[in-house]
Amino acid sequence: MGLMRVILCVLVVFLGWAAPAATTEAQPQASDDELAIRALMERINLACNADTAEKGVEIMRGVVSDKGYTVVQPNAERMEAFVGDKKALCDALSQSLRNGPKWGVHKVQQITIVGFVAYEIGETKDPNQDPKAAPNTWLNVFAKEDVGWKLVFSTPAAAAQKAFRRPDAREGESAK
C-alpha cells in the first residue's frame, strides 16, 4: 500500500508539473511580427476615429507605406470602384473626420505572415450602420520594409474571396 501511495504521489506531482507546460505549448505565442501588425491595426483604429482630421491623418501617414499603397473599394450604387493611393486615403479620412462620421472600429480576425508579407483579415462595423447588420470584412496586406511593417493594400475581403473561388469569370458571367 505504501508503494502505491508513493507512485500515486509521484504521478500527481509529475502530471501537475507537466500540465502547465502542455498548456503553454498548446497556446502558440504571437510573434513579434504579429504583435507589430496588431499594433498597426490599433493605430488605424485611432486614426479612423480621431478627434481631429489632422491627428487622424498624421497617424495614418505613419501606418501606410511611402513606397506604394492601393485601396480598392467597390461602389455598387455607382457601378464603379474607388481606387486610391496613400494621398487619396488620407484625403478621404480627413474629409470624413471633418464631417463628423467616424469609420468604425476594425477587429482583427486572422493574421497570416508569409516571409516579408502579412495578410490581415478583420471586420469593421460602421458606427452609423444598423446594429443588426453584418460587419464589413476587409483584407489588409502589409509589407515588411526597412522601417518595419507598413500597410500596402486594402480591399473588402468578400470581393477578394470571390476572385479566388472564380478567378476566370466575372460575377454574373460564365467562364469562357
SS3 of 1, please? Answer: coil
pLDDT value, residue 62: 96
SS3 of 119, please? Answer: strand
| Cα–Cα dist 116/152, whole Å | 12
Task: Kindly state whether residue 43 falls inside one of the protein's structural domains.
Answer: yes
Domain that holds residue 134: 32-165
pLDDT value, residue 131: 78
Task: Kindly state whether residue 24 falls inside one of the protein's structural domains.
Answer: no
Task: Kindly state whether residue 110 falls inside one of the protein's structural domains.
Answer: yes
Task: Kindly state whether residue 143 falls inside one of the protein's structural domains.
Answer: yes
Task: Kindly state whether residue 8 falls inside one of the protein's structural domains.
Answer: no
pLDDT tens for each residue of the chain, 176 residues long:
554 443 333 333 333 433 444 434 455 688 999 999 999 999 999 999 999 999 999 999 999 999 999 998 877 777 778 889 999 999 989 998 998 767 778 999 999 999 999 999 999 887 777 778 888 899 999 999 999 999 999 998 887 777 777 656 555 554 44
pLDDT value, residue 20: 42
Task: Kindly state whether residue 137 falls inside one of the protein's structural domains.
Answer: yes
* Domain CATH for 92: 3.10.450.50
Distances in Å between the Cα of 142 and the Cα atoms of 135, 154, 157 are: 22, 9, 15
pLDDT value, residue 116: 95
Task: Kindly state whether residue 19 falls inside one of the protein's structural domains.
Answer: no
Task: Kindly state whether residue 124 falls inside one of the protein's structural domains.
Answer: yes
Rounded to two decimals, the pTM is 0.73
Domain total for the chain? 1
- What type of residue sits at position 150? K
| Cα–Cα dist 135/133, whole Å | 6
